[in-house]
Structure 1
């Protein structure tokens, strides 16, 4: 058995898949003060579902894969470690100067982003490596030792070393680590070239600083989590989900902490890619609406689209990650009136504690979940399979605080909140697709997350998308995606050459070197050639431009054909993104990259489409009809999702409900269950849309 665990803002999701491909899922409330407690609570629930003790469950587990928001929260809340920095003389203020930009570059009154390393904790030392790797100024080791002593006296928790052109010649950065270790100071240490091995000193320094800022907290959490698991009887390997959609062993993930910044949402993208392949859907846009955010990703030819750089809270992170757009809108998003008296939703969230008002845990502010409960789209008696009742009285009282100033009924106010969520999600999906040169009307919409199903059909209508898919495991889809991932390591080398006959030998030599390094790293993780695979890329641009586009290099391409393949592939992608090409100009090759995968193995048969196991029977409070408010009250059929067989067709309006999610099938729409057990919503022959 393999277990995937995703800690979200409101719930901790646990998914188990056995050797027969049977999928069992549970949800427990997240515990922000100690996230590992929510994990253990979820494992206890899972053991109960499988009629085992916790010890028996762990004894039958061969692998656990964990995604976490610890790194994300450290950045969002600015509660990371105190970081000290040692850098090249003259470059102390680079983190503040950035690349000369800020998010609102034309707003002269906007505050400039604050760096993660305070200026007194950034210390310069004499050293200089030139752009070609030659040493211009030798490292002043006495200055390094003095700087280390100063930082130690300031009680910094992490040290980042960022020297100019260290990606070409890292000797000085490596020597600083040797000197630090010689002092006996055991501090979390980050060398910039080990985090990002490419030119662009701001990108490299910023990414390394983020790693140092979140690393000690993440390392501490991983240590506590692993200790608690071992104390509970776990002997199996523990893997951590990375922002790339790949895995790292837990002991390595703490050192490469920047790779965990979008750990959880990456699981949803990986599960979406798996389902896109199983559905044979070439273009898929996904949205994951959970308790606090909506995460949007794009799947092309069964693979999530990636990005090379991410701006997180105006912090540059220049390492690969799945391209996920995060919108601060979820079930816990708080509805309010802005200064002009206009209804708005979020970004503030009620989170897991106290949660929406209807949770009866102390929350009093109206949230999206409260609105959907008032509308009858959620059942107060079957939430979490009946384990957690919802208070209609408290939900109505919370929504009424907005209804009075809006001079609307409680139901009309709740409907306005619901509609606002639909539009916000749809506009975010439209933006994510169009900026990639894709038309959402040509795509399948895959909706998941516990709060996504009641909005899916309306979002599709806003976007003129004719087909929506909601997986049976929608509310725990990210955790399911963890179980479809492999170990992934990324290596890159700077090239900086215009495409031509002279450039190809350099590209081939770089790729060969990267393949050797990647193979050695995979072998150190326990993956030999028979359990590994490599994908090769070059990042290209036109010479006077700054941003690049990725070009995949097939492993079997002949050397003589490589230049033409790069030229054609780059032109096609450039045309897709920008609508034109520079036909008289050759591409400029910036970087060669290799992504190396250690194949974990899919004994769980996820690659064939798992089957729901240990499905929860309908709770005692479930009713086969439901009163819902859309444009007035109406009574509609209600169906228990786990009881719907493949091929079942359900005309709208109707409610489809499970223990962890609810789906609205509007009028003039037909829903059916596909071979994977997913609910598919399509327009009817009458031409009506959701």
Structure 2
């Protein structure tokens, strides 16, 4: 990457679309545009116009000088949340049409014994699940040959019903996939315009229900994401882009447009999945490797935990009530964003969210027709946010509208002052976020006091000090790029594909470990060939192996990362010790004398890209008081009450390395505002990160 070349990360969120442009000299620029869910190219065009104006270069020249253009999207997530996928059919083994509803015989965790908890909406209606007479046994033996006429009749039925996507999933196809592959071949032949999702291609591992559900989710979302990917790619190419377009996946890596369209299920958590990569980059100069990254945007609050530099990855989980087997960065998501609406329940109690005002109509202060008080309105009323404009003056707001909405809907009904009502909203959303942080830390055996908080998202820095104080964290890092941290994280990532296979085997003296090694080598040969087609030389391809293992008789397995280690008689004892240690870390106990078995294998394959150089900001002004641009009355907690303090507002764009700010105060960057309550300090590091410490 030369000084004349650029890299562009674009993260399309529910409220704003973030753009981070990096050049070869280490300079990072952040831009924001209002998201346009109905047509993502409009927001991208807006962001590119801002970049063009800032660089005084035409959009075509900027795009032609990009080494990398990567896009994160919420299209698949929103389609699943709103159940706006396509009409989907399922071809399955006869007798297994109801596996989606049986759901392994129980409800999701937390609702297992709740008789009133409603069933999940089915992505494939019952009449669109067509049984096929075929049967493969667990050892791969064909018990009943596939009746191809059943498949053809299903295709004719799907055509008559206007089905746009078909999922194919047969029992024990992971042991012998000949039936599943032939069925998919027939579907593609008879329904050439229909999206086909094959369980053996999407999730080729053990667990029939998980494989079927994953294939169905992929089919349900595939055409929606495929249209989006095609539209975005064509937009860039039509405007002068020469470099490959990449899209961000839930597994924390990039993919080509072709792979993204074929694996729509991998885009569900596309946005927040890049935050841990950015957090590690921000924390590296300080030597921190235990990180909790929190991202508060307009509609949601996302939390990820990184321990010793490794972020947890989930497989085989219920996400939005649908079982998904493919790897996803472990993200805890709450309905707690700047647009979260405050309301009073029938008991007269103040609540916040999960309903959101979103981008339209947005908070009351946005002057777009919103009448309900939101978290953003509370921050305006508390004096934390500029009451006149945001985003460096690009977005005009009406601070009085925030106070009026809070007074009318919350303060007056509860008999409170506007200040107390606003602080109540602020405090409640903080409690909701703290509970989420505890779920990813304390409930998984981690003490949050051993971690550093990393702020991401435009609204996070308004709350981060209060969150840290409540959970006992003494150090917080807030990068200047916080509100676009996910877009920045995309620029730091590699192309990443997961190649999986089932390989059930008891580990004893009779185990054919050579079969496991051969499976790995077969997967990796396919992976290397795929990345070679994308232009990666062999020395730019990195491979990491995992084994899903369990004690014989257990229901669930856990993943053991073995790096590039081969599997054989000389390594299996070491692998067994790694499994015992992993099991103990997850479940507090190990059984080193019990027999273990391998269930699945996985090779994670990376196409490695060079990271952009780190930026270095110039020294500070020495006396930060010279960059105070205003004073505002701000409301802070004082024991069990609140107090109003006249506090300085610092122009963050004029601060430099080494400048120290003491609370109470607010630091206004262009795209975020950092609230420092009394007792907190912020020092701007040369890396462009504010280091917040609690001195109280």
TM-score band (shorter)? Answer: over 0.9
In the alignment, is the contact (CA less than 8 A) between 2:188 and 2:194 conserved in 1?
A: no
1:531-550 to 2 correspondence within 5 Å? 531-550=540-559
Find 2:384's aligned residue among 377, 383, 389.
377
**1:246 & 1:565 partners in 2: Cα distance?**
29
In the alignment, is the contact (CA less than 8 A) between 1:437 and 1:578 conserved in 2?
A: no
Find 2:198's aligned residue among 187, 191, 207.
191
In the alignment, is the contact (CA less than 8 A) between 2:633 and 2:645 conserved in 1?
A: yes
Find 1:6's aligned residue among 8, 11, 22.
11
| Match of residue 293 from structure 2 | 286
| Match of residue 185 from structure 2 | 178
Confirm or deny that 1:61 pairs with 2:70.
no
| Match of residue 423 from structure 2 | 415
SS in 1 for 2:338: coil
Confirm or deny that 1:436 pairs with 2:447.
no
**1:403 & 1:256 partners in 2: Cα distance?**
48
Give how far 1:274 is off: 2.5
Confirm or deny that 1:673 pairs with 2:684.
yes
SS in 2 for 1:520: helix
In the alignment, is the contact (CA less than 8 A) between 1:371 and 1:417 conserved in 2?
A: yes
In the alignment, is the contact (CA less than 8 A) between 2:206 and 2:599 conserved in 1?
A: no
| Match of residue 520 from structure 2 | 511
**1:186 & 1:352 partners in 2: Cα distance?**
35
In the alignment, is the contact (CA less than 8 A) between 1:381 and 1:622 conserved in 2?
A: no
SS in 2 for 1:597: strand
1:79-94 to 2 correspondence within 5 Å? 79-94=84-99
Q: CA 1:338 to 1:182, structure 2 compared with 1: closer, same or farther past 3 Å? A: same
Find 2:260's aligned residue among 248, 253, 271.
253
| Match of residue 625 from structure 1 | 631
Q: CA 1:277 to 1:512, structure 2 compared with 1: closer, same or farther past 3 Å? A: farther
**2:130 & 2:429 partners in 1: Cα distance?**
47
**1:177 & 1:579 partners in 2: Cα distance?**
44
Confirm or deny that 1:645 pairs with 2:652.
no
| Match of residue 367 from structure 1 | 374
Q: C-alpha deviations, 1:524-557, integer Å up to 9, x for none?
A: 3222312100011112222232222221113257
| Match of residue 478 from structure 2 | 470
| Match of residue 660 from structure 1 | 671
Q: C-alpha deviations, 1:479-533, integer Å up to 9, x for none?
A: 0011011111111222223333444434333322222222222223222312100
* Stretch moving more, 578-587 or 197-206: 578-587
* Stretch moving more, 255-264 or 101-110: 101-110
Q: CA 1:79 to 1:184, structure 2 compared with 1: closer, same or farther past 3 Å? A: closer
| Match of residue 639 from structure 2 | none
Q: Give the TM-score, by structure 2 length.
A: 0.94
**1:184 & 1:423 partners in 2: Cα distance?**
51
**1:390 & 1:166 partners in 2: Cα distance?**
57
Q: C-alpha deviations, 1:448-499, integer Å up to 9, x for none?
A: 1100001111111111111111111000000001101111111122222333
SS in 2 for 1:680: strand
1:100-249 to 2 correspondence within 5 Å? 100-103=105-108, 104-183=111-190, 185-249=192-256
* Stretch moving more, 264-273 or 411-420: 264-273
**1:353 & 1:384 partners in 2: Cα distance?**
17
SS in 2 for 1:62: strand
**1:579 & 1:186 partners in 2: Cα distance?**
51
Two-structure CA RMSD over aligned residues (Å): 1.9
Give how far 1:561 is off: 4.8
- Which ranges of structure 2 fall in alignment gaps of 5 or more residues? 1-5, 637-641
Give how far 1:622 is off: 8.0
| Match of residue 327 from structure 2 | 320
* Stretch moving more, 106-115 or 444-453: 106-115
Q: CA 1:138 to 1:612, structure 2 compared with 1: closer, same or farther past 3 Å? A: farther
Give how far 1:144 is off: 1.1
Give how far 1:612 is off: 6.7
**2:154 & 2:567 partners in 1: Cα distance?**
51
* Stretch moving more, 203-212 or 121-130: 121-130
**1:539 & 1:102 partners in 2: Cα distance?**
24
In the alignment, is the contact (CA less than 8 A) between 1:358 and 1:395 conserved in 2?
A: yes
Give how far 1:559 is off: 4.7
Give how far 1:365 is off: 0.3
Confirm or deny that 1:493 pairs with 2:498.
no
In the alignment, is the contact (CA less than 8 A) between 1:445 and 1:467 conserved in 2?
A: yes
| Match of residue 461 from structure 1 | 469
SS in 1 for 2:564: coil
SS in 2 for 1:254: helix
SS in 1 for 2:552: coil
| Match of residue 402 from structure 1 | 410
Give how far 1:560 is off: 5.1
Q: C-alpha deviations, 1:596-624, integer Å up to 9, x for none?
A: 0011322x22xxx23579x9xx9xx9824
**2:50 & 2:476 partners in 1: Cα distance?**
31
**1:115 & 1:511 partners in 2: Cα distance?**
35
Q: CA 1:273 to 1:311, structure 2 compared with 1: closer, same or farther past 3 Å? A: farther
Confirm or deny that 1:43 pairs with 2:48.
yes
Q: C-alpha deviations, 1:383-408, integer Å up to 9, x for none?
A: 10011121111111111121011100
**2:634 & 2:497 partners in 1: Cα distance?**
49
* Stretch moving more, 409-418 or 47-56: 47-56
**1:57 & 1:653 partners in 2: Cα distance?**
41
* Stretch moving more, 193-202 or 167-176: 167-176
Give how far 1:138 is off: 1.2
Find 2:534's aligned residue among 512, 519, 525.
525
SS in 1 for 2:262: coil
Q: Give the TM-score, by structure 1 length.
A: 0.95
In the alignment, is the contact (CA less than 8 A) between 1:274 and 1:302 conserved in 2?
A: no
| Match of residue 26 from structure 1 | 31
In the alignment, is the contact (CA less than 8 A) between 1:273 and 1:304 conserved in 2?
A: no
**2:229 & 2:248 partners in 1: Cα distance?**
12
* Stretch moving more, 218-227 or 80-89: 218-227
Give how far 1:558 is off: 8.5
**2:238 & 2:49 partners in 1: Cα distance?**
14
**1:126 & 1:558 partners in 2: Cα distance?**
38
SS in 2 for 1:623: strand
**1:638 & 1:289 partners in 2: Cα distance?**
22
SS in 1 for 2:179: helix
Give how far 1:208 is off: 0.3
**1:181 & 1:567 partners in 2: Cα distance?**
43
